[in-house]
Amino acid sequence: MSAPRLALVLGDQLSFDLPSLLALDPQCDAVLLAEVAAETDYVPHHPQKIALIFSAMRHFAEALRKRGWQVHYVKLDDAQNSGSLPGELQRWAAQLQAVEVHITECGEWRLEDELKRCGVPITWHADSRFICARGEFARWAEGRKQLRMEFFYREMRRKTGLLMNGDGTPVGGAWNFDAENRKALPKQIKAPMTARFPADGITQEVLALVAERFSHHYGSLASFDYPVTHAEAEALWQHFLDFALPAFGDYQDAMAVGEPFLFHARISAALNIGLLDVRRLCADVEAAYWRGHVPLNAAEGFIRQLLGWREYVRGIYWMHMPEYAERNAFGNTRPLPEFYWTGKTRMKCMSQAIGQTLEHAYAHHIQRLMVTGNFALLAGIEPSQVCDWYLAVYMDAFDWVELPNTLGMVMHADGGYLGSKPYCASGQYIKRMSNYCGDCAYKVTESVGEQACPFNALYWHFLMRHREQLTGNHRLGMIYRGLDKMTEAKQQGLWQRGEQLLARLDAGEAL
């Protein structure tokens, strides 16, 4: 029998139509999947994230075998496991005497660079699971001083025809209905029950392994209920279409005590590891709109997150790595506070967002951007530490999507390349979009004094200390004019309160 070709399939590439698989023949070629220590601890990944990927990999390997593939699967505790993906690729390529090695583009620059330097000749395949290829995005970006997601999104709408009229205009007469996606949750509105998936034998074995090996990582395994197969991911998706999508548009930015999911789909982790297909998701949402099942602001808002932001941040990532990861436009040096890892803070909004993150490895985009991210921005936390935290604690976080969102969108550390303004806000934003402030230890109506909401003084302190950099931003002009209208005594009081809060952070205190 002739030597086989070998496809290395990564833990975020669990798609049957993966280009590197389509290039091979299951009758005579082989597939390699490997659980390795190097991918579990370069940041302290949430135990549920490790469990999801390992369980999904093991289920995918079984599904491939049923489809006739020869699959070589390396478990984390296998005696011969080298501990890294380059090491396993070298070992198995030599052992099988593979005539060719095929890999689909990685999701992380770090790993792709390691594999390219491992000494094994590799045939690389573009990842067709994305709508916009790396090269296509680079061509779109060429010659532009600033890359705005809105204009990229319009190009993707034209390319796909999603929510488009026959004459090339957008359905509803506008490209973007974001202004209709910002309603706070009324008291009488209840979120649908969450779809849950009990652990089968494979998942139970993985959970036991993760509990034993990663008990030192922050985060609980107890509530693990994520889909680990294509069929389960499909069931989660259908649950969202039926019960949550109609209200998603109105309340996608809302936050509520004890409601970690509200009307969100929870499918980003399944999508990012290959259990769902982005084209299918967008088509399903568009079809739901045309049938009259969901309003336009829900359909457009959901499609914008996938077709717009998701594709956009991937394009920026691959255009500018690895230098992009080092950007720090504000020169922040403050270390990440310990309460980001424990949730032990008197700030109700932060304890809610971090607490549910530790419990579920999940928080929705506004909790990430306008609560934990907003605080990190206002407090001047060093960007790479914030990025590492997001990469570690969230189930759906892979470098290509997490890094631009965190470094660019959350921390504005790229100087405005990705976002046109810093997403900074006082406690009033959180009050408007949530019920977190009602029983908080701090008073959101106050800005100075020991009982004042820390977000308030830190917001103005941030604007004051970075005035030289930000005063020319047209989207902040009105805010700076408001600052200038304050009395000198009020400005001084806000500055002093901000200084006190930052000093407490520097002393290791949990606010």
Within-domain flag for 327: no
236 plus 172 within the same structural domain: yes
User: Which of the 8 DSSP states describes residue 452?
Assistant: B
Give per-10-residue mean pLDDT for the chain (511 aa): 88 98 96 98 97 98 98 98 98 96 98 97 98 97 87 96 95 88 86 93 98 96 97 98 93 94 96 98 98 95 96 97 97 98 97 98 96 98 98 98 97 92 96 96 97 98 96 92 96 98 96 94
Q: Mark which of 99, 125, 151 sits at the end of a domain.
A: 125
3-class secondary structure per residue, 273-310: CCCCCHHHHHHHHHHHHHCCCCCHHHHHHHHHHHHHHH
Q: What burial class does residue 201 get, using C-beta atoms within 10 Å of its C-beta: 0-12 exposed, 13-18 middle, 19+ buried?
A: exposed
Q: What is the CATH number of the domain that holds 73?
A: 3.40.50.620
Q: Give CA–CA dist 92/100, Å, rounded.
A: 12
The predicted structure's pLDDT at residue 177: 86
Within-domain flag for 325: no
436 plus 488 within the same structural domain: yes
162 plus 292 within the same structural domain: yes
Longest dimension (CA), the chain: 85
Q: Give CA–CA dist 278/432, Å, rounded.
A: 32
**Which residue bears the tokens 């004051």?**
464
If one counts every other C-beta atom within 10 angstroms of the C-beta of residue 476, the result is 18
Cβ atoms of 76 and 54 closer than 8 Å:
yes
- Least Cα distance to 417 among 141, 60, 170, 133 occurs for 141
Q: Give CA–CA dist 418/421, Å, rounded.
A: 9
Q: What is the CATH number of the domain that holds 497?
A: 1.10.579.10
Q: What is the CATH number of the domain that holds 270?
A: 1.25.40.80
Within-domain flag for 500: yes
If one counts every other C-beta atom within 10 angstroms of the C-beta of residue 468, the result is 7
3-class secondary structure per residue, 328-376: CCCCCCECCCCHHHHCCCCCHHHHHHHHHHHHHCCCCHHHHHHHHHHHH
Within-domain flag for 331: no
Q: Give CA–CA dist 320/385, Å, rounded.
A: 19
362 plus 289 within the same structural domain: no
Q: Give CA–CA dist 242/192, Å, rounded.
A: 10
Give 275's contacts (C-beta < 8 A, 6+ positions apart).
Answer: 14, 15, 56, 227, 229, 230, 232, 233
Domain count, the chain: 3
Q: How many CA atoms lie within 13 A of 399 on its CB side?
A: 19
Q: What is the enclosing helix (H) or strand (E) of 459?
A: helix 454-465
403 plus 458 within the same structural domain: yes
358 plus 497 within the same structural domain: yes
Within-domain flag for 329: no
CA 475, 503, 370, 11 dihedral sign is positive
Q: Mark which of 269, 288, 320 sits at the end of a domain.
A: 320
436 plus 484 within the same structural domain: yes
Within-domain flag for 207: yes
- Least Cα distance to 284 among 273, 339, 271, 328 occurs for 271
The predicted structure's pLDDT at residue 420: 87
Domain span holding position 19: 5-125
84 plus 151 within the same structural domain: no
Q: Give CA–CA dist 40/210, Å, rounded.
A: 10
- Least Cα distance to 36 among 97, 6, 80 occurs for 80
Distances in Å between the alpha carbon of 375 and those of 308, 423, 429? 26, 10, 12
Q: What is the enclosing helix (H) or strand (E) of 73?
A: strand 70-74
Q: Mark which of 125, 154, 171 sits at the end of a domain.
A: 125
61 plus 176 within the same structural domain: no
Cβ atoms of 351 and 345 closer than 8 Å:
yes
The predicted structure's pLDDT at residue 1: 53
Q: Give CA–CA dist 204/198, Å, rounded.
A: 9
| Residue 324 identity (one-letter amino acid) | Y
Cβ atoms of 253 and 181 closer than 8 Å:
yes
Within-domain flag for 333: no
Q: Give CA–CA dist 33/17, Å, rounded.
A: 16
15 plus 140 within the same structural domain: no
Cβ atoms of 153 and 307 closer than 8 Å:
yes
Within-domain flag for 44: yes
First to last CA, the chain: 67
189 plus 108 within the same structural domain: no
96 plus 149 within the same structural domain: no
The predicted structure's pLDDT at residue 223: 95
